[in-house]
Chain A
């Protein structure tokens, strides 16, 4: 069976960058965020690699990436992501970052998905990350599903297989480091991915160039998404980093290891 796979994914600042929250008239933001190099959200990236894997196994499947982000940044990020696998981009121009409201982002994404011509729910799999690396709310994909009327939803997915009868066999993370395996008879379904099992595909400029022929016009035409939000932030701060260093001399490695293990147990 051929699937129509939609992958929802935003952008996140490159993890090595210095992130400094600042207050702006429009609410909190990261200092110089638009100038920092960005990456495709790591959780959504796992979803994308899994989508590629599934599409390769099921001839005729298509992948569309729906992304809400500042389009200039999105274009830069696509220079890398678009090299990894063939897909079509459905861009929505709007603010990126972690301070947008999850509900309004979900509305915008669901609206963009619903507007995709030729959408066939009997083939539709909506993928995304189980949370974003920026907001970390872990609720967007569920809301996207609800707004599209897709109630088969799987969260923190690590594996998807299609059995001989065409049912989706899905492994989700549950409490205590365990997995729960579910069977879903057929699409449509929402799968919000954890890490999955696949490595990052290698870059392949040839693939990227083929993708870009359609992506550049799409980016140029990307419509601005308006994100209404009722959220106010009382305070934003970086997680405190504390370092506890003790300098020791002449202590055997085994003794150091034992002490560290003790400390972790506390």
Chain B
């Protein structure tokens, strides 16, 4: 049995990857501010949060004093203020996407609900942060920043409404806003009426960003409005939601009927022809918010998958110890369930998925950190040209996308083949930089949310099942059962899977993104050339197959003459979005391990080679899994909309041989008839084989790409066997570092 008897000559993984490895993999080795934040948050997660879970804190829907006490822990550890700028009471300079992702990751390592709860205020403030006026930002950020002697205010984000209103479809708003008073020359007073459903943080929030629609001819369109506890009217937190998940966060269905000044419209307003026109509608605000906050949600699931590794190895190894059936030193004693190949192989699948989730999520977070300043710079440059937003901005950007594609093309070339002057000019242009990064961000964000939570959820179930019956008890080490069910919320809130797939189906066909994607195929081929056996070659072939399929589907029609790639054909667009996510996650994982390979050698003093080899094997395992998924999805879509040939359809029988023809052929070349597919018997019927075979005209290229991809899978399962050996031998701590 390979798992227990193979002994490879290569270095094996000696200990679980530590912080030093993770800092290089996720590219924050030079950010000591973030490294400290990680330690600070970890102490809260594995201390007070873990203790509360172990004490049964999750077993009630109510927002208890014990749950509430965690808020002060979050404040003290710097979690609350991590969202703010130093001048607002924060302490981290620059964009904060990676910082917030690391926070979410660390807390979710123990409990995802605590991660959600710790960042509820961030979500509530995000509309103000992204689109608020400078005054709104300065005020609300600073009142929510913890300061000595000041209890910080907490915020909530209220978009979702009771049925039949806002859910996946965010346009069906029932929350209304009217003008209550408008004194001559003065600030209008608005009357806001909003009911929320499943609103996070409502057990304690004092500030709410609420999405509402005008119910008054003097107000234009939709908007988000800031509501405060203490505003005149009703601020009812509602009863706690009887949720089965994320019990350390607070969720309820609040009711608001409040009078607020118009200055609470997020982003401000103009008065046009006697009407109040908000500068941003609610759609524009939630888009700006979710495109950042969804990344952190994806990392919550990633953390849980990786957190399952240590408890599972320990459970498997210790499974039979003390039974008397295996003395110390016997394989049964030392390896326990790890003697069984399926156990190690399935755990490797969980681990590889966790690595890919984390790599995708952190890469996306870093991308937003890069994008944020460039977006501001782009706005500044365009404003100088008199372009300040709305359709004029869209048009201006669209016009320049050809140059962005040119830039990507130049960038992918070797220096010798580049037009240096042109490349430097494009690289120095913030609009071009923005277009290139934005096209990626528009894909990577929904991909992180969709893939990490969706596939992560399935793999979390796998982790639970590897713990046997223990997995579905409250006593399970590492709280794996809770972590599994919690993934369903991560896949649902901030836009369920359908929303992410819908967004991807649009953004992944952007020419700028596709130009980028094509350069990534070459990038993976280069990695494969230097480091064969990393899965990069498999992935490149799978990426090629995906692009080919997308281009084909965009042109092709089904058997009824209907266009295949169109927005209401979710059966086509959604699976293509799923397939893309597998590729993106695997690519990020391979790139992270490449970084470790090149940057870690000097920094990591012991066990480096074994760690890199093991993580490379996980890349290979994951790439082959991704290739399999992509191959299946693409084949199904390419062939699935062709009409299956039938015997009744005369033209389709035109190439069938007749039985007597075959007999003649046989008499000349015995055995040759075996190469024919269909034939007609003397009585005009067909043989009773499975059915007529499809002739796929024009799909020869697809078939070639697919069979090439099959060949690329070589070595993937050898990588798995090798990694299995590491799993059996890796040293783990004596006990988990948080209570059960």
Q: Give the B-binding residues of A (Cβ under 8 A).
A: 14, 16-18, 20, 31-37, 70, 72, 76, 79-80, 82-83, 202-206, 208-209, 212, 216
Q: In the complex, what residues of B have CB within 8 A of residue A209's CB?
A: 32-33, 36, 91
Residues in A neighbouring B733, C-beta threshold 8 A: 14, 16-18
Known: A18-B734, A202-B77, A203-B77. A83 touches B36 (CB 8 A): yes
CB distance A208 to B36 under 8 Å? Answer: yes
Residues of B with Cβ closer than 8 Å to A? 14-15, 18-20, 32-33, 35-40, 43, 76-78, 91, 603-607, 731-737
Q: A34-B605, A209-B36, A212-B33 are in contact. List 10 more A-B contacts (CB 8 A).
A: A31-B731, A37-B18, A76-B18, A79-B19, A79-B39, A82-B36, A202-B76, A203-B36, A205-B33, A208-B32
> For residue A37, which residues in chain B have a CB less than 8 angstroms away from its CB?
18-19
B80 to nearest A CB, angstroms?
12
A204–B78 contact, CB under 8 A? yes
Chain B residues, Cβ within 8 Å of A205: 33, 36-37, 40, 77-78, 91
Contact B734 A17 (CB under 8 A): yes
Contacts of B603 in A (CB 8 A): 72
Which B residues are CB-close (under 8 A) to A72? Answer: 20, 603-605
- Taking CB as reference atom, which chain B residue is nearest A77? B39
Cross-chain contact of A32 among B78, B604, B731, B736 (Cβ < 8 A):
B731
State how many angstroms separate the Cβ of B494 from the closest Cβ of chain A: 26
* Chain B residue nearest to A13 in the complex (CB): B733
Instruction: List residues of chain B with CB within 8 A of the CB of A83.
Output: 36, 39-40
A212 to B37, CA, bound (A): 13
CB <8 Å contact, A212 and B607: no
* 20 A-B interface contacts by CB (under 8 A): A14-B733, A16-B733, A16-B734, A16-B735, A16-B737, A18-B734, A20-B731, A32-B607, A35-B15, A76-B18, A76-B20, A79-B35, A79-B38, A79-B39, A80-B36, A202-B77, A203-B39, A203-B77, A204-B40, A206-B78
Of the candidates A20, A70, A82, the one whose C-beta lies within 8 Å of that of B605 is A70
Q: How far is the CA of A76 from the CA of B40 in the complex (A)?
A: 13
Q: Provide the residues of chain B in CB contact with A32, threshold 8 Å.
A: 14-15, 606-607, 731
Q: A31-B731, A76-B19, A209-B32 are in contact. Are A203 and B606 (CB under 8 A)?
A: no
A210 nearest CB neighbor, chain B only: B91
Find the A residue at minimum CB distance from B608: A35
CB neighbours of B38 from chain A (8 A): 79
* CB-defined contacts of A79 to chain B, threshold 8 Å: 19, 32, 35-36, 38-39
Q: Which residue from chain A places its CB closest to the CB of B15 in the assembled complex?
A: A35
Q: Name the residue among A33, A70, A79, A216 with the largest chain B CB count within 10 angstroms.
A: A79
Complex: A208 Cα to B37 Cα, angstroms: 9
Q: Across the interface, which residues of A come within 8 angstroms of B35, CB to CB? A: 76, 79
Q: Answer whether A34 and B606 are a contact pair too, CB < 8 Å, given A203-B39, A209-B36.
A: yes
Among residues of A, the one whose C-beta sits closest to the C-beta of B81 is A206
Which of B36, B604, B732 has the most chain A CB within a 10 Å cutoff?
B36
Residue of B whose beta carbon sits closest to that of A71: B605
B32 adjacent to A36 (CB under 8 Å): no
Contact B18 A80 (CB under 8 A): no
Going nearest first, the 9 A-B pairs with the smallest beta carbon separation are: A34-B606, A203-B40, A205-B78, A208-B36, A80-B39, A35-B15, A79-B35, A206-B91, A16-B733
**Residue of A with least CB distance to B20:** A76
Rounded to whole angstroms, the CA-CA distance of A34 and B605 in the bound complex is 7
Chain A residues, CB < 8 A from B604: 72
What's the least CB distance linking B150 to chain A, in Å? 16
Alpha-carbon distance A23/B39, docked complex (angstroms): 33
Which residue among B15, B32, B733 has the maximum number of chain A CB atoms within 10 Å of its CB? B32
Interface centre among A18, A36, A205 (most CB of B within 10 A): A205
Look across to chain B and name the residue whose beta carbon is closest to the beta carbon of A34: B606
CA distance A150 to B37 in the complex (A): 39
Which chain B residues border A204 with CB–CB below 8 Å? 40, 76, 78
Please name the residue on chain A nearest to B607 by beta carbon. Answer: A35
Distance to closest chain B CB from A206 (angstroms): 4
User: Whole-angstrom distance between the alpha carbons of A36 and B731 in the complex?
Assistant: 10
Give bound CA distance, A33 to B91, whole Å.
34
Q: Which residues of B contact A17 (CB under 8 A)?
A: 733-734
Least CB distance from A5 to B in Å reads 23
CB distance from B81 to the nearest CB of A (A): 8
Q: Are the C-beta atoms of A35 and B91 separated by less than 8 Å?
A: no
Contacts of B40 in A (CB 8 A): 80, 83, 203-205, 208
Neighbouring A residues of B37 by C-beta, 8 Å: 205
Chain B residues positioned under 8 Å from A212 (CB to CB)? 32-33, 36
Distance, CA A21 to CA B604, complexed state (A):
21
Complex CA–CA separation, A205 to B78 (angstroms)? 6
Chain A residues closer than 8 Å to B91, beta-carbon distance? 205-206, 209
Q: How far is the CA of A36 from the CA of B21 in the complex (A)?
A: 12
What's the nearest-Cβ distance from chain B to residue A95, in Å?
11
B378, chain A: closest CB distance, angstroms: 30
User: Contact at B77–A35, with CB atoms within 8 Å?
Assistant: no
Shortest Cβ distance from residue B736 to the other chain A in the assembled complex, whole angstroms = 8
Q: How far is the CB of B317 from chain A (nearest CB, A)?
A: 11
A120 to B14, CA, bound (A): 47
Which residues of A have CB within 8 Å of B14? 32, 35
CA A76 – CA B15 in complex, angstroms? Answer: 17
CA–CA, A32 to B15, complex, Å?
7
Across-interface contacts of B732 in A (CB, < 8 A):
18
Residues of chain A within 8 A (CB-CB) of B20 are 72, 76
Complex: how many Å from CA A203 to CA B15? 27
Task: Kindly state the separation between the CA atoms of A79 and B603 in the bound complex, as whole angstroms.
Answer: 16
Q: Write the chain A residue with the least CB distance to B730.
A: A32
B735 adjacent to A203 (CB under 8 Å): no
Q: Report A26 CB to chain B, min CB distance, Å.
A: 13
Q: Which A-chain residue is minimally distant from B19 (CB atoms)? A: A76
* Chain A residues with CB below 8 A from B32, complex form: 79, 208-209, 212, 216
The residue on A at minimum CB distance from B99 is A205
Please, how many angstroms separate the alpha-carbon atoms of A18 and B36 in the complex? 25
Residue of B nearest to A70 (CB): B605
Q: List A contacts of B43 (CB < 8 A).
A: 80, 203
A36 to B16, CA, bound (A): 9
Q: How far does the alpha carbon of A79 sit from the alpha carbon of B32 in the complex, in Å?
A: 7
Residues of chain A lying within 8 A (CB to CB) of residue B735:
16
User: Shortest Cβ distance from B422 into chain A, in angstroms?
Assistant: 40
CA distance A127 to B77 in the complex (A): 28
On whether the beta carbons of B731 and A18 are closer than 8 Å, the reply is yes
Q: How far is the CB of A238 from chain B (nearest CB, A)?
A: 11
Q: Using CB atoms, name the residue of chain A closest to B18.
A: A37
Question: In angstroms, how far is the closest chain A Cβ from the Cβ of B610?
Answer: 10
Residues of chain B with a CB closer than 8 A to A70's CB = 605
- A36: which B residues are within 8 A, CB to CB? 15, 18
Residue of B38, B40, B736 contacting most chain A CB atoms (<10 Å): B40
State in angstroms the CA–CA spacing of A18 and B14 once bound together: 12
How far does the Cβ of B235 sit from chain A's closest Cβ, in whole Å? 33
Please, how many angstroms separate the alpha-carbon atoms of A70 and B605 in the complex? 10
